[in-house]
Chains A and B, each alone.
Chain A
Amino acid sequence: MIQLHFGSGRRLVYGVYHPATGTRLRRGVLLLNPYGWEALRAHRTLRALALRLAGGGFDVLRFDYSCTGDSLGDREDASWEDWMEDADYALDELQSMAGLRKVSLVGLRMGALVAAALADERPDVVDRQVLWAPPARGGDVVRWARSGHEGEVDAFPIGRRLEDQLDRLDLAALRSSGGLSLVLGLGRPGREVQSVGGTEVITLSPDDPHCWMQDRDRGAGAVPTKLLDRIATWITG
């Protein structure tokens, strides 16, 4: 595991690179965070996924969008276009560090929206994308950010500019390219795996939509190991 800073001189971003530890597949995976208190609670799960993927031979990069986590910037200055630029830099950084042509994306919650948009912009690089509990629209991200515990909502405010930017985003409009997709989200009971075109949909069990959260029900530190294994298996192909 290697901590690094990357991005523009104007706005440096904190990332963690997990070089492949197993037999190297010469393939990369970029992990994309949720926003706000969700990112704080998803950290342990995404790190566990990164370790699994690295153990399976992938070179993996995860990072904090600017103005979030350990990256530079105040939360009040966050913007969607900066986050997309961060993701773009991250993709380049991973390709460059590991010498890769193709990279898969895993985006959790808001990160799924970033993944879909990035796949749209960089179809030449992105070969697979996992959209984990994605929002149908950017407005859902705003709603989620404002539906945590009272203090958590206050801690990660969404300003008017960011809200307007998110409100204009629609997942269906973005998911038009970017190779194969795996969508992990709530679906119809009894049909756990559905395939629609190039999109495979895995339905999470209804009582487990937030299995990525650490501290859930005071079960500190638990991570959804079986689901992480399934994600790793699907990306491996």
Chain B
Amino acid sequence: MEESSGPSLGIPPLAILSAVLPPRHPSLLRCVTLAALACVFLSSAAWADSLAKVRESHKLRYGSDAEGGGPYAYPNPANPRDVVGFEVDLMGLLCGALGPDPVFVQGQWDSLLPTLDTGRIDVVVNGYEWTSARAQRYLATRPYYIYELQVMAPSGGAVRTFDDLSRPRPDGRKWRVGVLGGSAAETFANAHGNGQIEVLYFNGATDAMMAVKNGQADATLQDLPAARFYKEHYPSLELAGPPVGRGLYVMYLRKGDEALRDALDRGITRLALNGDLRTLYERYGIWTDTQSELASEVEQASTKAADASSHGLGLIRSYGPTLIWAAGMTIVLSFAAMPIAIVVGLLVALGRLYGPPWMARILALYVEVLRGTPLMLQLYVLYFLLPELGVELPAMVAGIVGLAINYSAYEAEIYRAGLQAIPVGQMEAALALGMSRTMALRRVIVPQAMRIVIPPVTNDFIALFKDTSVCSVISIVELTKRYSILANSTGGVVEFAALTAVLYLLMSLPLSWFSRWFERRLAAEGPRGGLVG
């Protein structure tokens, strides 16, 4: 479940299957979607007696994200292979009464619910607030914590309370507020910003704090426990004003797992009543007076009725346009980055092959470093670390530059192969005609190499298209990020996966067709001649 570069979304295979079918008429899409849903439903029915299974296997697998996850679940500072946190301890207490051993399963925060669908975990426990949309799709336990939202902003800055963010910014632009994508803070900031807030989406709570520290965001809206926990790591930030908004943390389970849910409910009630919960929360410094309501407010989550359509085409109709808009961002990122990558890559390849030895060595290092480290890390460096050195790049610029230099390393290798495939005689013939080396490269060698590299470069273009999704780590919301935000907040995992896959195909297929057409055109010019000797 470790999220790495590339769009690994935890999309159920069925969703992908339904997505590759041509969306010729909507009824077909609907049938396929329903069929996929039915499969998901049936397969969850197969795990019906989760409580029995959990007891039999002595394992309760709970999904959580330890990345930037304090104080919920985070690597133990004393032994980083170990995970600690109030939710980890809570699961320990609950399982102690229930019997099984709690097993921590690491996953990307915003894809924990889709992971639940796959059956790889039994329950999601990671500061997930109760929402009616989620409660329609999943079983929710009774709340185990009442959270509030807290603004964090630079100490002594313009932002003192959340209300400041709903007033016009002095320079007329919008306030940039970083949030954990798909969290309650996102919903709250969008709903209560009075149109003055531009929400920046991050994959981790600490990424958003880092962005505020670097000046890339004006403030971040965090769940209070996280804000308190990480405050000391970001001494330049302060908790601005009183907490705003509130909600309930609940655990989510698959429908059909009522027995397990009821067992967890009983456990939470017991801990709330006997004071163990308070002891636990005080140990982590997250006890607030509000928490005493936990003992009474227990039924709310599971009894509230759900609103709005949360299935099938209704979902796509209401949220589809935002997904298509995000596809536009994917297109902008790739069409800005690839031309740069192609030009830089060509120059790097030429420098390696025809430049002086010192240049060739430096460029070889350039290629190895960029190829040998993950794109995600490079984006982190560009966006989060460069500001420490005084170079501040807007997210879009960092994203485009990051993609471009990363891919330039791959393009350089493709060009190197292409250039080396040109027979030596071509260069000699050009030189013998009185051309300089540079002119021979420009007029004779590179034009021929270009023809050779069209298929692999197109291939890389398509790969880059999908790699734009990695830009979500620096708060850019492109297609994949928007998918995971929507899937997470509405529960429309299958429907949006289908639509997302269709959108990606619609964008990449024309590229493939273009490449094939171009190859055919070159092939029609006849076999390559004059290469003897």
Q: Do these two chains interact?
A: no
Residues of A within 8 A of B (CB): none
